[in-house]
Amino acid sequence: MFLESGTSLKISQTLHGIFISFDRAVVEEFTFGENRVVSVGPIEGQRVSGWDGSEFIAETMGEKGAVLAERWSLAEGGDVLVRDISVIEKDELRLSTRQVFDRQ
């Protein structure tokens, strides 16, 4: 299971997906409606993603069954990007955190 983070983001959107650059170093690609295997080095996971109303949701299941769930949404009239992150392993919540990014 892998989880990227950073203090500054750059988001680019195409007709088919979004690209999120964390601190200008790591780029995460999310394809709208995807259901595919993603990998970072030797680590692989099955990812599904898509829109649920105004939230973009990506869920990645690791080889041992843990699920990384990310929910991206806008707040404060679109000036704030919120990323809710949770990791669930064996039906137990192992991590729950929120990142808030202000527009600059």
Comparing 75 with 103, the larger pLDDT belongs to: 75
Backbone angles phi, psi at 8, to 5 degrees: -130, 145
pLDDT reported for residue 102: 87
Contact 11, 18 (CB under 8 A): yes
Q: 3-class DSSP state for residue 7?
A: coil
pLDDT band for 85, please (50, 70, 90 cuts).
very high
What pLDDT digit, counting tens, does each position of 1-58 carry?
456 667 778 888 888 888 888 887 777 888 888 999 988 778 889 999 998 999 999 9
State the pLDDT at residue 1: 47
Amino acid at 87: V
Q: Can you give the pTM of this predicted structure?
A: 0.81
Which carries the bigger pLDDT value, residue 20 or residue 97?
97
DSSP secondary structure string for all residues of 10-76: EEEE-SSEEEEEETTTEEEEEETT-EEEEEETTEEEEEEEEEETTEEEEEEEETTS-EEEEEEEEEG
